[in-house]
Amino acid sequence: MDPDKKTIFSGIQPSGSITLGNYLGALKNFGKLQDKYNCYYCVVDMHTLTVRQDPQALRERSYQLLALYLACGLDPDKNVLFMQSHVSGHAELSWILGCYTYIGELSRMTQFKDKSQRHADNVNGGLFTYPVLMAADILLYKTHLVPIGVDQKQHLELARNIAERFNNIYGETFVVPEPFIPQNSAKIMSLQEPEKKMSKSDTNTNNFILLTDPEDVIIKKFKKAVTDSGCEIVYDEENKPGISNLINIYASINDISRDDVMKEFEGSRYGDFKIAVGTSVASALAPIQKKYFEYIEDKGYLNSIFNKNAEIARENANKTLKEVYEKVGFIVNR
Ligand code: TYM
């Protein structure tokens, strides 16, 4: 870790296959930041237990997520790519921070409200305290910047409040982290229901693009994407959510602005635009997929990365935990 560089932390849950939303909202940015910052990119397996998981599938998806991190260009020598459950400090700090978080704050979290409706038969304590564990993930490494999609912004604000509260009581301890949210891809929407977020837990597979979808499937899903009855390719989230979503996807996959997209497709038909978006996405994902299928075959290599990085993360996490334990009044023995 370079002491002159600021720190980044972000995580993705291995709770389903990774979508184009995860990629454009978060993962694509991870790689761009790896030279300028000390970066921790975590496979947040502990968070997934808030919803029932099949143990074997969870393990497999955790490897798949690491393989995707690598395939997306994250250099394992420059970034700490690791598993949340390998570093017990996440759970330990989470307990402490939970004692500085109010039930009222947690009850206001929109993701908690959504998920407790969707999983009404399993509204467990973990679902409620989920944002505290997320705050622990971030604060444990004295993180300055957190690349996320906009759906995680409320959780990050809570982490900031917890950090400030703790600092006010015990003196400067945690860095108060800032969100890093991409402009055009802060919230990639479902292809069939563009008023809701593209999500890996969706049951309709036409709603999302997986990073591992083959080219023909990608193009087919974009051809079927729901648009409106108009014919102009202009950005208007309220009246043209489907077309606006496609404009965002095309802009972010090609690193251009929405205006550039609208200029390029002025006078084009919806059908042609959809094919262009699909082709662009498929060709951006092709090299990632090629690498992904190589990495996923090599569990030995993936385990070696997990092992090496767990140690690095543990060492840095322990420094913060020790400081926190001292401040709250524990007899430190770690
Ligand atoms: P998760 O696993 O749901 O999603 C991972 C990242 O992808 C972003 N994202 C999206 N961005 C744009 N459009 C979408 N449709 C879309 N869907 C998902 C998310 O905003 C996220 O950045 N709680 C987090 C994981 C987490 C975490 C952390 C993140 C745990 N600890 C600490 C940052 C820092 C989550 O469930 O993300």
State the CATH number of the domain containing residue 225: 1.10.240.10
pLDDT beneath 70, residues of the chain: none
CA angle, 246 as apex, 242 and 250 as ends, to 5°?
170
What is residue 313's predicted lDDT score, i.e. its pLDDT? 98
269 shares its domain with 121: no
173 shares its domain with 289: no
Domains contained in the chain, number? 2
211 shares its domain with 275: yes
Catalytic residue among 28, 142, 197, 221: 197
Residue 213 maps to a domain = yes
Using DSSP's 3-state secondary structure scheme, residue 201 falls into: coil
Question: Which ligand 1 atom is at minimum distance from the Cα of 149?
Answer: 20
What is residue 2's predicted lDDT score, i.e. its pLDDT? 86
Q: In 125-190, which residue ranges form alpha helices assigned H by DSSP?
A: 125-139, 153-170
For residue 256 the two structure tokens come to: 């251009």
**Domain of 224, in residue numbers:** 205-293
**9 has which bridge partners?**
40
- What separation in angstroms does the CA of 51 have from each of 98, 111, 157, 249? 20, 13, 23, 29
284 shares its domain with 308: no
What is residue 201's predicted lDDT score, i.e. its pLDDT? 82
Contacts 24+ apart (CB under 8 A), 325-332: 327/170, 327/171, 327/173, 328/96, 328/170
In a 13 Å sphere around the CA of 205, the CA atoms on its Cβ side amount to: 9
Nearest to 222 by CA among 200, 194, 201: 194
Residue-wise pLDDT for 318-334, tens only, equals 999 999 999 999 999 87
Pocket test for ligand 1, best of 9, 17, 151 (most atoms within 8 A of CB): 151
Which residue has 């802060």 as its token pair? 186
Pocket test for ligand 1, best of 12, 185, 196 (most atoms within 8 A of CB): 12
Using DSSP's 3-state secondary structure scheme, residue 81 falls into: strand
92 shares its domain with 155: yes
Residue-wise pLDDT for 103-151, tens only, equals 999 999 999 999 999 889 999 999 999 999 999 999 999 999 999 999 9
Measured CA to CA, the distance from residue 212 to residue 293 in angstroms comes to: 9
Residue 142 maps to a domain = yes
Tell how far the Cα of 199 is from the centroid of ligand 1, in angstroms: 10
What is residue 3's predicted lDDT score, i.e. its pLDDT? 87
CA dihedral 210, 214, 215, 217 (to 10 degrees): -70
145 shares its domain with 257: no
Q: What percent of the chain has pLDDT over 70?
A: 100
